[in-house]
Amino acid sequence: MQSGTPAGRPLRDTRVVLSGLVLDNPVIPASGTFGYGSEYREFYDINILGSFSFKGTTREPRFGNPTPRIAECTEGMINAVGLQNPGIDAVIAEELPRLRTFFHKPVIANISGFSVEEYAYCCERIDREEQVGLIEVNVSCPNVRHGGMSFGTSPEAAAEVTRAVKAVTTKPVYIKLSPNVTDIVSIARACEEAGADGICLINTLLGMRIDVRRRRPAVANTMGGFSGAAVFPVAVRMVYEVARACSVPVMGCGGVRSARDVIEMMMAGATAVQVGAENLRNPYASKEIVEALPAEMERLGIERLSDIVGIVG
């Protein structure tokens, strides 16, 4: 998308390319904050987005964790939703056909699992869906006991999932990594060596709040995923480290809430940028970021967003 500017000034090119997938702009609502798009279409035409990552999907339907699931924090929130979703069969039979009626771009399919076999099964099924342009494999969810987080905390386990998924898919596969590790680079490299087409990071940090009046954890699951603006510096640092260490594209995520945040994360090395918790605080957040990008680019003297990816050495 080339965004027009007043006469005599250059056009601002917001387009980016993810593993052959051309996006009008790099703004992608993150999985778990945008459902399957139908709720947000009531607020605006979501085709303004580069794409979006739909709700984390597992083989079987999941009700998720008990309530309460949300706790507010300074400049952020903790959630312990627990991968509530209708299951892969319902997503293919109901959600994707509905999505096609109002979203006319390739979508990102977020897949979660509790075994290597489940990851492979769900990814093979979703790979056949025409509207899915890219598969995002979540090995980092900290909210489900004995689930995704265990795969994302060791290079060997993350690589095993990556190889299994790549063996049964034809579309680009991005592995979404957990920040709850001591060495994010070794895990990203292991995924790249196992065939990952890209890396997405970061997912939520593991956090906890206590209800001091009730003298018990604020969420029923005790701990949950900490997200929001407070985690942005951690996300920028990890994007920077991984982008410098790996040759595959990176999707940055974590605490993004403005067009300037998008540009900062791209300068750190992200080719595209996901917006998560801010969508829950402000349902127009992703739309406002897309619309603000050309003016922010003009203020910073940027003609093409693709030129700034990883510009900070």
Q: Tell me whether residue 222 is in a domain.
A: no
**HEC secondary structure over the chain:** CEECCCCCCCCEECCEEECCEEECCCEEECCCCCCCCCCHHHCCCHHHCCCCECCCECCCCECCCCCCCEEEECCEEEECCCCCECCHHHHHHHHHHHHHCCCCCCEEEEECCCCHHHHHHHHHHHHCCCCEEEEEEECCCCCCCCCHHHHHCCHHHHHHHHHHHHCCCCCCEEEECCCCCCCHHHHHHHHHHCCCCEEEECCCEEECCEECCCCEECCCCCCEEEECHHHHHHHHHHHHHHHHHCCCCEEEECCCCCHHHHHHHHHHCCCEEEECHHHHHCCCHHHHHHHHHHHHHHHHCCCEHHHHCCCCC
Q: Tell me whether residue 214 is in a domain.
A: no
| Annotation says 122 is catalytic | no
Q: Tell me whether residue 282 is in a domain.
A: yes
Q: Tell me whether residue 102 is in a domain.
A: yes
User: What's the total number of domains in the chain?
Assistant: 1
pTM of the model: 0.94
Q: Tell me whether residue 166 is in a domain.
A: yes
Q: Tell me whether residue 216 is in a domain.
A: no
CATH code (residue 32): 3.20.20.70
Ordered per-residue pLDDT tens for the chain, 313 residues: 555 544 445 589 999 999 999 999 999 999 999 999 999 999 999 999 999 999 999 999 999 999 999 999 999 999 999 889 999 999 999 999 999 999 999 999 999 998 899 999 999 999 999 999 999 999 975 434 444 456 888 899 999 999 999 999 999 999 999 999 999 999 999 999 999 999 999 999 999 999 999 999 999 999 999 999 999 999 999 999 999 999 999 999 999 999 999 999 999 999 999 999 999 999 999 999 999 999 999 999 999 999 999 999 8
Q: Which of 141, 191, 200, 253 is catalytic?
A: 141
Q: Tell me whether residue 302 is in a domain.
A: yes
Q: Tell me whether residue 221 is in a domain.
A: no
Which domain range does residue 129 map to? 2-63+83-204+235-308
